Structure 1
Amino acid sequence: MKKVSFEEFGGPDVLRLIDAEEPHAGPGRIRVAVRAAGVNPVDWRIREGQVLGAHPITLPSGVGIDAAGIVDEVGEGVEGVVIGDRVFGEGVDTYAEFAVLSAWAPMPEGLTFEEAAGYPSVVETALRIIRESGVRPGQTLLVSGASGGVGSAVLHIARERGIRVIGTAGAANQDYLRTLGAVATTYGEGWVERVRLLGPVDAALDLAGSGVLRELVALTGDPGKVVSIADLAAPEFGVRFSGVAGSVPEALAVAAELIARGELHIPVEKAYALADAAAAHIDSQAGHTRGRRVLVI
């Protein structure tokens, strides 16, 4: 099969499309013929060799944790899924023609493979960091870097839970944040003052890793109310760094339910061919994403 791999840590140029042996579904796992794979910031952070709390990486390594596709192998002990089912979920080395998933759910009706591939890890991350921030219904959550995939999921879920959200993003994404129910403001010079004018902040999330942790702690008044998924310096500020948690089937069930109810929609900003994984990483690292980026197989 074709698979994206890298033999050394580094920039996007280390990614190669190679011929590889097909993986197979072990106990408690399924294999899918991948139709689309999600492109996540964690993918290029791992490619760079950043330490994110994930499982140790052995080189050469594949890339990717999110996928949507058609089940073609079912491992021992797996129930409730059969060959031919359309599923989305999390696994390993999903930038490939075939991938093994450790968590999955049926694709909601009306969803394309490209759309479905954008949901698994971002919804898991959004649910996890909202919980870790301690924010409650009726309170205000500040989201720094709110227009990407995780930010979009956070905004949807927070709105559904009755949490007020202030979101920061570039000027081009202000209307997008408002459509998701956020009070939008731009980042850049003076952003702290702009946020203060919008009211007290009870908790904050750093999704972009743009060096704003000191300011987020000042706005909330407590480092314990700030969570970062992108800044490895978080512990220096007393802030929780929430890295890769792994597959959480419950998050996929929540995603499927919210999608089916029309309460969660994360747009696909751009789709790339498998051979263009490096370009997808370059664009992801550049930021300013509105929604998700995916690879199409």
Structure 2
Amino acid sequence: MARRWVAEDYGDLDVFAEIDAEVPAPGKGEVTIEVRAAGMNPADYKRVAYGDDRSLLPMPVGYECSGVISALGPDTEIASGGGAVGDEVLAFRVQGAYATELTVRASDVFAKPASLPFADAACLLLVGTTAAEMLHVTGVKAGDTVLVHGASGAVGVSVLQQAALLGAHVIGTASVANFDLVGRFGGEPVTYGPGLEQRVQDAAPGGIDAALDTVGTAEAVDTSLALVSDRGRIVTIAAAGRAAADGFHAIGGSMPASLAFRDGVRARLIDLAARGELVVPIARSYPLSEARAALAELKGQHPGGKLVLIP
């Protein structure tokens, strides 16, 4: 018997509950993981806040985790090859990572680099694959100057690192309190708020080649449209309505093209993390039993890094 968090209904955080749950034995193509850390993401509560398909209830919560293989289905290998009971792994995209143990598709499980702590491994792939796709769809390359809205957030920090590896220069919006964080990962910080367009122009006299929006505000979208001439080089993960109206990219984990790209890039991101070229700042860890309190902090914004649950 495992402990698991589920959403018993759609709504606010009061619909989340911790329950006892049977963990099915893994069949062919499946792996059971004893969870050591579960990564937290805004999608965890947003799916519950805005959902309406009651056939999915009670809904397991959490898309990524790390841990140790406790059982392996017959004739089964994990995505990175091999796999045995006791091996340290990370998994993404799964359903129900807020748990002490769960059974998942082996194709979503990868060997955890020994150099990567469980907490870091559990928080790597959702933000990492999102950032990678944002850079991919806008064609960011060496020599580009890129504007990133929300550069101190989890996705923004991954964008900063991956853009630097491509040889691009990033100007990132952030609060003054987070300027050091943006600078630590190679970005040039500017404050958001009135006058943003002019501040970005001052920071990039040669112009902006691409704009990546992680916040979805009207200010972010309007500034991107004003400064980037090619709308094919603007992307958002938070303003799909504006993207449809104004003719630029919107991406999201539920979109088939996004799913395919993100699945394909997971192994490369794990390799970057193993080499220390992609890191995940961890703001705070919570016991699994305090998931609702952790979600409240996550929903409150600006935790200063990733939040992680520890069974």
How big is each residue's C-alpha offset from its partner over 1:24-82, in whole Å with a ceiling of 9 and x where there is no partner?
4343232211111110121121111269xxx9971110111010000112234422111
Asked if 1:108 is matched to 2:106, the reply is no
Aligned-pair identity in percent equals 35
Other-structure match for 2:37: 36
Q: Judging changes above 3 Å, is the alpha-carbon distance between structure 1 residues 77 and 219 closer, same or farther for their aligned structure 2 residues?
A: farther
Specify the SS of the correspondent of 1:71.
Answer: strand
Aligned pair count reads 294
Other-structure match for 1:93: 96
CA–CA distance in 2 between the matches of 1:224 and 1:292?
30
Unaligned 5+ residue runs, structure 1?
none
Cα RMSD, aligned residues only: 2.1
Equivalent of residue 84 in structure 2, options 82, 85, 91:
82
Other-structure match for 2:10: 9
Rg comparison, structure with higher value: 2
Q: Judging changes above 3 Å, is the alpha-carbon distance between structure 1 residues 35 and 246 closer, same or farther for their aligned structure 2 residues?
A: farther
- Aligned AA (1:9): Y
Other-structure match for 2:249: 240
How big is each residue's C-alpha offset from its partner over 1:93-121, in whole Å with a ceiling of 9 and x where there is no partner?
10111123441222112322111111021
CA–CA distance in 2 between the matches of 1:187 and 1:100?
43
CA contact (8 A) 2:140 2:163 kept: no
CA–CA distance in 1 between the matches of 2:128 and 2:55?
24
CA–CA distance in 2 between the matches of 1:111 and 1:162?
25
Asked if 1:136 is matched to 2:141, the reply is yes
CA contact (8 A) 2:216 2:237 kept: yes
Equivalent of residue 179 in structure 1, options 181, 184, 207:
184
**Larger CA deviation: 224-233 vs 90-99:** 224-233
CA contact (8 A) 1:123 1:251 kept: no
Q: Normalising by structure 2, what TM-score?
A: 0.88
With a CA cutoff of 8 Å and minimum separation of 6, indicate the structure with the bigger relative contact order: 1
Per-residue deviation, 1:289: 3.4
CA–CA distance in 2 between the matches of 1:23 and 1:230?
36
**Larger CA deviation: 138-147 vs 226-235:** 226-235
CA contact (8 A) 2:10 2:51 kept: no
Other-structure match for 1:264: 278
Per-residue deviation, 1:192: 1.9
- Aligned AA (2:85): I
Specify the SS of the correspondent of 1:165.
Answer: strand
Where in structure 2 are the equivalents of 1:206-225 lying within 5 Å?
206-211=213-218, 212-225=220-233
Specify the SS of the correspondent of 1:262.
Answer: coil
Equivalent of residue 67 in structure 2, options 66, 69, 87:
69
Other-structure match for 1:119: 124
- Aligned AA (1:73): A
How big is each residue's C-alpha offset from its partner over 1:120-145, in whole Å with a ceiling of 9 and x where there is no partner?
21111111111011222110111111
CA–CA distance in 2 between the matches of 1:162 and 1:124?
18
CA contact (8 A) 1:105 1:249 kept: no
How big is each residue's C-alpha offset from its partner over 1:185-222, in whole Å with a ceiling of 9 and x where there is no partner?
11122222211111111111111223322321222123
CA–CA distance in 1 between the matches of 2:71 and 2:310?
20
Q: Normalising by structure 1, what TM-score?
A: 0.92
Other-structure match for 1:202: 209
**Larger CA deviation: 61-70 vs 183-192:** 183-192
Unaligned 5+ residue runs, structure 2?
none
How big is each residue's C-alpha offset from its partner over 1:136-167, in whole Å with a ceiling of 9 and x where there is no partner?
21101111111122111111111011011111
